[in-house]
Structure 1
Amino acid sequence: MTVLDEAPAPVADAPAQPLHPRVVALWRIGALLWWAFLTAAAVVATFIFEKSPWLALPVAIIGAAWVIVVPPFQYRHFRYRMSDVDLRIMHGWLWRSVSVVMHSRIQHVDTHQGPVERMLGLATVVAYTAGSVGARVAIPGLAASEADVLRERLAAVSGTDDGV
């Protein structure tokens, strides 16, 4: 008999949950602002170095393509799952990442909303754990009411076994 044979059976996980579809608009707005800044910086650089402003056109084209193409891929590849023992966050379409946070490690949970998130009715749930690496895990793009429910559920399950 091996150690694996003695291990308890894994807890049945709930299905992975997608983000709210409006998060695509949120990510597009954020990407648009960054690419607009980069395009403006490229135009300014062409004037500083006395080059044609048309040299900034590739930056604008790449930015437009990014704003159109990348957010839907991010949305399709971002899921979260809350089971009886942990919170899992799976994301990434080029570089995939899975974060597993045990409920017993969660110290506190917040919700955040920026102005654009408020306008779109979205919020971000952030769970904080002890430690320095990975001490903050976030689930962006949830409907505000869903974020409140998830925050309260995480707070309830994380506060059940205080080690002090």
Structure 2
Amino acid sequence: MESLHPRIRLLWIARGALVAALLGVGLAAVDVWLVTVPTSVVVVVVLLGFALGGVYAVRLYQIWRFELQDDALYLERGVVTIVETAVPFVRVQHVDTQFGPIERALGLSSVVVYTAGSRNADVRIPGLTPSRARSLQDTLRELAVESGGEDAV
């Protein structure tokens, strides 16, 4: 099983911090427009949000794994609910490499595997270096073609 690059934790921690900050802003707005919310409550909620976001990011990193098996891409991820996914190579339609501005700043990329079947049937593998993402994209493309699926890539 292969794990993600450790820098993905920074992205996930930043997302948790943003949620905590927005929660604090929301509580401050409630304080101004609806009911009085003690400042200490706002501070505790924001600090608790930061802490939980950090713990969640670290735990998610510890659990997130993927592996190329004989006939499928296998993924394990989740914190509260662990999700195990097997994507048969014969179902792979195309594979993209994506990276947004924050990912680029951290030197990370994601691979998105689009599959045949139901709507929004795609799998995203975040937290890869750009070279690893391109390599995985090429490998998945080759395995999809080799699997004999006429729909493949």
TM-score (norm: length of structure 2)? 0.90
Unaligned runs of 5+ in 2: none
Return the letter of the residue paired with 2:128: L
CA contact (8 A) 2:16 2:50 kept: no
Unaligned runs of 5+ in 1: 1-15
The residue number in structure 2 matching 1:9 is: none
The residue number in structure 2 matching 1:143 is: 129
1:144-163 correspondence runs (5 A): 144-160=130-146, 161-163=148-150
1:28-107 correspondence runs (5 A): 28-54=13-39, 55-107=41-93
Q: Distance in 2 between matches of 1:105 and 1:65?
A: 40
- The percent identity for this pair of structures is 34
Q: Distance in 2 between matches of 1:127 and 1:56?
A: 41
Post-superposition CA distance 1:76-100 (Å, at most 9, x none): 0000000221100101232111000
Q: Distance in 2 between matches of 1:117 and 1:143?
A: 10
RMSD: 1.6
Select between 145-154 and 36-45 the one with higher mean Cα deviation.
Answer: 36-45
The residue number in structure 2 matching 1:10 is: none
Select between 147-156 and 91-100 the one with higher mean Cα deviation.
Answer: 91-100
Secondary structure of 1:27's counterpart equals helix
Q: Distance in 1 between matches of 2:45 and 2:14?
A: 17
Residue 132 of structure 1 and its aligned partner are, at CA, apart by: 2.1
Q: Distance in 2 between matches of 1:50 and 1:99?
A: 46
Aligned residue pair count:
149
Post-superposition CA distance 1:108-163 (Å, at most 9, x none): 00111111110011111110111226611111111111011001111111123242
TM-score (norm: length of structure 1)? 0.84
Residue 53 of structure 1 and its aligned partner are, at CA, apart by: 4.7
Please tell me whether Structure 1 or Structure 2 has the larger radius of gyration of its CA atoms: 1
Residue 50 of structure 1 and its aligned partner are, at CA, apart by: 4.0
Q: Distance in 2 between matches of 1:53 and 1:112?
A: 43
Q: Distance in 2 between matches of 1:102 and 1:134?
A: 16
CA contact (8 A) 2:56 2:79 kept: no
Secondary structure of 2:150's counterpart equals coil
Q: Distance in 2 between matches of 1:89 and 1:72?
A: 18
